Structure 1
Amino acid sequence: MTKESSQTALLWIVAAGFFMQALDTTIVNTALPSIAHSLKESPLAMQPVVVAYTLTMAMLTPASGWLADRFGTRRVYFAAILIFVLGSLCCASAHTLGQLIVARVLQGIGGSMLMPIGRLAVLRSVSGEQYVSALALISVAGQVGPIVGPTLGGWFVQAISWHWIFLINVPIGAVGLFAVHRYLPRGIISSAPPFDLAGCALLSLCMIAFSLAVDSPAHTHRAAWAAGLFVLGLASAFAYVPYARRRANPLFKLKLFSEPNFSVGLIGNLVCRIGSSAVPFLLPLLMQLQLGYTPLHSGLMMLPAALAGIVAKRWIAGLVRRFGYDAFLLVNTVIVGASIVAFALISRGTPLVLEIAVLAIFGGANSMQFAAMNSVTLKGLSHEDAGSGNSLFSMVQMLAMGLGVSIGGGLVNLFTAQWGSAALGFRLSFVCVGVITLVSALVFRRLDEAPAAAVPRGRVVSGTGR
């Protein structure tokens, strides 16, 4: 096999991994009411199914690069696909909510390595001048997943059964395993420094404690338990600071935060994504439980947001060059937050064209928001710190996704119990998560950037669009 054909095969392999991971992130949301009915659970009690997956990926993503250096890219990528497929089979075989959550954790272990190892394999096999084009090509697979995921999930639930939203990964994974074994270069196994297990444990404890604290209902006797978990999360985060100062090679060096835009971008990302990540979880539930939509109909309704997101991505570089990151993020964050609040106005009598318009505005603005936030957070880091900063940034992204689902679902339960109306519960929840997103506009006002004219062409990099 020639070098060119080998690189082509590599890109297809990594693209398949991106597609599986992106598809699984979105396909589950549409099927949650049907899964809940099958498992005899409340649909609003299903957020742990989503949170378990994203939180597992957040905790294990930092280890992916070390594993690739220690055991070889091909071996680790093969294991990632295999674990992901086995987790998918376990999800399809689950008979209780507890079994499904455990299976999603197994899926998350595999999913945590698919994108980082895929990027690393491409980086090590493709020349520098071709890397941006190669990454743009495989990122298309990450964009296709959110487009087909909700619709495909709705169709599987309606035409066959919810189990197929997980079983679809088996044939894709089988082809991927064969391709990895056949085409992926063995790579070089290097003597990687010892992995910072203690630092990873501290940050993982922080994320788990925060997630469990948010998931604990505030109106029950578990409020004290939630407060204790919140304190534990803060303590573990603060404990990491002196630990990282003493260790020669910590998981994340504290000097990352000396770059002001990285700190502001990280906090802004966390706050903004909490609000926007609640939407893909809440909307299918609203449509199926309150508006009477079928799973397929609710999945199709998510298409305008996904398609608008792809179209809007083309505008981001020009808008940032013209107005600068600070002005763009300030205005665009207001649009994202306002569109989320607008979902509270959707009812059975809302014209279809108005629903589609709100979804398209949210999808387009949210896509540009992610691209701009990704770029402004990482663009100021040195080459030496870029890998570590990107890894921490990925952790925060996944944590925010899990927190968004927990907060969104928790608010619906809280307001429904308080007011005795699920419809009002959804409306108030959309208002709350929209306001959370709007708060991030205040964070982005603290950006310290060069004039807009100094932003180089092509500097805005959206990655996989998340």
Structure 2
Amino acid sequence: MSLPISPALPGNNQQPSDAAKRLLPWLVAVAFFMESLDTTILNTAVPAISAALHVGTLSMKAVLASYTLSLAVFIPISGWVADRFGTRRTFAFAIGLFTLGSLLCGLSSNIHLLVACRVLQGCGGSMMVPVGRLTLVRTFAKSDLLRTMSFVSIPALVAPMLGPVAGGLIVGYLHWRFIFFLNIPIGLVGLVMVYLHLPDYREETHALDVVGLIMFGSGVGLLSYVLEVFGEHTLSSREITAMLVMGLAMLGGYWMHAKTMQYPLLQLYLFRIRTFRAAVGGSFFTRLGIGGVPFLLPLLYQVGLGFTPVQSGFLLMPQALAAMSMKAMMPKLLEKVGYRWVLVSNTVVLGVLLMVFATIGLTTSVWWIVLLAFLYGGFSSLQYSAMNTLVYADTTDQESSAASTIASTMQQMSISFGVAVAGLATAFFVPENAQSAPGLMIHGLHKALLAMGVLTILSTVVFRSLKPEDGDTVSHRKAIHAGA
């Protein structure tokens, strides 16, 4: 059913006004910030919330996992919903659902209700990022997309670094419920801005692939859950193996199902495009290596070096500053040397930096830690922005929705899997009695960081499939070559 659109507002795929173009990146950036902040802000508040709800700290893992699981499961339908009902209505619905979920989370009186409300939050968050990215792709020319994407991706880098500090300060000076209430005024303002300024793009749609949604969602959910609980001994090895096999079977079944469908849930044919395949595949494998850094570094700082949660959070702040600084330099760098050179060399640098983090010990200067954090923040910012924009280098406007959906789904999966891989590496290298022996903890975390560094460097194999001219439509290099 087609919904009416006010003629006074940009809609029906009409070109948005100059004012809307100016405000759109800010609006999408705020939505990105809300979604990204919520993935980390709870980490330092877990003990306080578990005590308030009278449950064990380990039980709070469900509160953290339910949000990321719902993101991974519902992201695949975001593109279809946006094409069917319009980007403005879908984006407004996503912000509204996320804000409502935040309110209900803050009012929850038991852990079961809190988990259910976190799932509701995740449903809204699953549409905010991909639909916001899709709106940008359809609003701005490819030649302007790099600068725009670089700007709106800053909150996605800053929020995970501010999350632990913000959570610690809120719990220390206010109340844990304000962690969720913080989203309410931002969400309400966002709703008004969406109605006034967000362009409304639509495309002809087809029937939703419900079977594919069930198979893919179940597969990702089972696989994510197995990685979350692996090593905690809450399930037997037989149960974990059975769930792992079922999850992989579901994903394999979806792959076969998608080949028989004219309009599958995820348009897998896009992987035939070299730049898309390299961007999405390289992003996935790179994040397996660097995705666990927000987990490993606070553990190193707090358990190994004895810093408080707030101090540990502040040690991550230089990453955010460097990320913002790099955004101004990145377009010129890509314009000069191209995507292939940047992604191959930058991935190696990130892997080496992780190995350098493995040299931090009890006698290491705080200023050296700050310098490493600043360097890592700058290079990771360059990596994320390059991978995110290369996705759209050779896709058409009609394919942008499907490309955004796949990229966002794989990104969310890789974030969850990256933390899980880091956790598995830590469990493998850190002995059980390390909690009472900081030296053992530091030594084990050093090995985990070295392993993550090697894994990151190995992901350059994917980016080597790129050609020197790939991504020129986004980085302006074609214009330079044409005038040379």
Q: For this structure pair, what is the TM-score category when the shorter chain's length is used for normalisation?
A: 0.7 to 0.9
Letter in 1 for 2:242: G
The 5 A counterparts of 1:225-240 are 225-240=239-254
Q: Tell me if the contact between 1:51 and 1:405 (Cα under 8 Å) persists in the aligned partners.
A: no
1:163 equivalent to 2:177? Answer: yes
Q: Which moved more, 1:350-359 or 1:313-322?
A: 313-322
> Cα distance, 1:426 vs. partner?
3.4
Distance change (3 Å), C-alpha of 1:267 and 1:33: farther
Letter in 1 for 2:453: G
Q: Which moved more, 1:237-246 or 1:103-112?
A: 237-246
Take 2:336 and 2:193, find their aligned partners in 1: how far apart are those partners?
Answer: 44
Distance change (3 Å), C-alpha of 1:384 and 1:80: closer
Take 2:56 and 2:358, find their aligned partners in 1: how far apart are those partners?
Answer: 22
Q: 1:426 aligns with which of 436, 440, 445?
A: 445
Q: Tell me if the contact between 2:37 and 2:162 (Cα under 8 Å) persists in the aligned partners.
A: yes
The residue that corresponds to 1:439 in the other structure is 458
Q: Which moved more, 1:10-19 or 1:162-171?
A: 10-19
The residue that corresponds to 1:296 in the other structure is 310
Q: 1:448 aligns with which of 452, 455, 466?
A: 466
Per-residue CA distance 1:56-97 (angstroms, 9 max, x = gap): 222212222322333344433332222212222333344555
Q: Tell me if the contact between 1:47 and 1:406 (Cα under 8 Å) persists in the aligned partners.
A: no
> Cα distance, 1:400 vs. partner?
0.7
The 5 A counterparts of 1:351-370 are 351-370=365-384
Q: RMSD of the alignment, in Å?
A: 3.5
Gaps of 5+ in 2: 1-7, 10-16, 436-440, 479-484
Q: 1:210 aligns with which of 217, 220, 223?
A: 223
Take 2:50 and 2:291, find their aligned partners in 1: how far apart are those partners?
Answer: 21
Distance change (3 Å), C-alpha of 1:456 and 1:65: closer
The 5 A counterparts of 1:248-263 are 248-263=262-277
Q: SS where residue 358 of structure 2 aligns? A: helix
Take 1:398 and 1:148, find their aligned partners in 2: how far apart are those partners?
Answer: 19
The 5 A counterparts of 1:38-437 are 48-94=62-108, 98-121=112-135, 128=141, 132=145, 138-139=152-153, 141-142=155-156, 145-146=159-160, 148-180=162-194, 183-184=196-197, 187=200, 192-218=205-231, 220=233, 222-416=236-430, 418-422=431-435, 423=441, 424-437=443-456
Gaps of 5+ in 1: 461-466
Take 2:424 and 2:449, find their aligned partners in 1: how far apart are those partners?
Answer: 12
> What is the TM-score with the length of structure 1 in the denominator?
0.83
> Cα distance, 1:6 vs. partner?
5.8
Aligned length: 456
Distance change (3 Å), C-alpha of 1:378 and 1:105: same
Take 1:433 and 1:129, find their aligned partners in 2: how far apart are those partners?
Answer: 34
Letter in 1 for 2:31: G
Take 2:265 and 2:477, find their aligned partners in 1: how far apart are those partners?
Answer: 27
Q: SS where residue 185 of structure 2 aligns? A: helix
Take 2:38 and 2:153, find their aligned partners in 1: how far apart are those partners?
Answer: 15
> Cα distance, 1:248 vs. partner?
1.6
Letter in 2 for 1:256: L
Take 1:187 and 1:339, find their aligned partners in 2: how far apart are those partners?
Answer: 43
Q: Tell me if the contact between 2:143 and 2:473 (Cα under 8 Å) persists in the aligned partners.
A: no
